[in-house]
Structure 1
């Protein structure tokens, strides 16, 4: 039996607040008021690309984010405030949180994540033996065992890494 592909996506600096200029920090979400956090922006291109990826994964996609209780509440409120679930097709129950980055490996294993987008190399190290397709999001490239994606427009490459279903021709895949 083939494993169904499943997508994991980090929230901070991937879905929200990413692609800032070098040295620039988006601290409003973390340190600003609740209202400022809600008003803060999504990463450029997320609404153009992520809905198609979630569809390509058959809705088998999860946000897997590291944060404490205060930021968890802000994240969930931000997702609702920006109609994220409706705009992307991500099921509302498909959001997971953990306290330490390396704990994302446990979520990936439990969920059967096959493809993970995260901006932190330490997360990719933790999931290296669990998740076969790893994408380092943002301006910094990593080692050759993780694929660099510098922004959402480059994330379209993930579609080529989705294994073809027996009923679907494999012509869309190129390696």
Structure 2
């Protein structure tokens, strides 16, 4: 069994449009024009913290996002427009999409995600038996089985949760 640590990160309200009030949507990205979506900002602190996490996981980091075709196209364009891959070290081929939030569990199982940052408690419920380290991003606190990470500065704690010796580069991925 491969026990190499792998990081999963949600896009909406985590990498982009984060720290909105619970229930709010990023209307510029979701329903604004394509140009407004591209111009919309990343979540504060993502470029200061995520590159170090990607490095701590030896590049084994994925975006796992729920969306339809229209938002998928916007997401990929936004990542390119903001030079996300260069700025964070996350590989372009490490972006996954699904249609329903619980389907993120399938991606986590397939990839072997060990640490997941997501702003939705229903995602954490779906991955609870698959992903040992779960981080609920944003203002809402969850139950004791998910760790609250209110913002990117707080996400630095994830480094301490990487098991010793589990950051070696994987030979098969």
Cα distance, 1:166 vs structure 2: 7.8
Counterpart Cα distance in 2 of 1:167 and 1:31: 39
**Structure 1 residue 19, shift from structure 2 partner:** 1.1
- What corresponds to 2:43 in structure 1? 43
Q: How far apart are the structure 1 equivalents of 2:26 and 2:13?
A: 9
Partner of 1:108: 108
Aligned counterparts of 1:6 and 1:166: Cα–Cα separation in 2: 9
Q: Unaligned 5+ residue runs, structure 2?
A: 169-173
| TM-score for both structures, normalised by structure 2 | 0.93
Gap change, CA 1:81 and 1:167, over 3 Å in 2: closer
Q: Which residue of 1 aligns with 2:54?
A: 54
Count of matched residue positions in the alignment of Structure 1 and Structure 2:
168
| Matching of residues 130-145 of structure 1 within 5 Å | 130-145=130-145
Q: Compute the TM-score of the two structures, normalised by the length of structure 1.
A: 0.92
What is the rounded CA distance, in whole Å, between the counterparts of 2:167 and 2:13 in structure 1?
36
- 1:172 corresponds in structure 2 to none
Q: Which has the higher contact order (CA 8 A, sep 6+)?
A: 2
Partner of 2:118 in structure 1? 118
Structure 1 residue runs of 5 or longer lacking an equivalent are 169-175
Aligned to 1:26: 26
Aligned-residue Cα RMSD (Å) equals: 1.7
Q: Distance in 2 between matches of 1:21 and 1:70?
A: 24
Tell me the residue number matched to 2:91. 91
Equivalence for 1:65: 65
Matched, 1:16 2:16: yes
Give SS of 1:145's match.
coil
- Deviation per CA, 1:76-99: give whole Å up to 9, x if none: 000000000000000110000000
Paired with 1:126 and 1:95, the residues of 2 have a C-alpha distance of 19
> Given the superposition, is the C-alpha separation of residues 45 and 166 from structure 1 closer, same or farther in structure 2, using an over 3 Å criterion?
closer
Name the CA distance, whole Å, in 1 between partners of 2:137 and 2:166.
30
In the alignment, is residue 147 of structure 1 matched against residue 147 of structure 2? yes
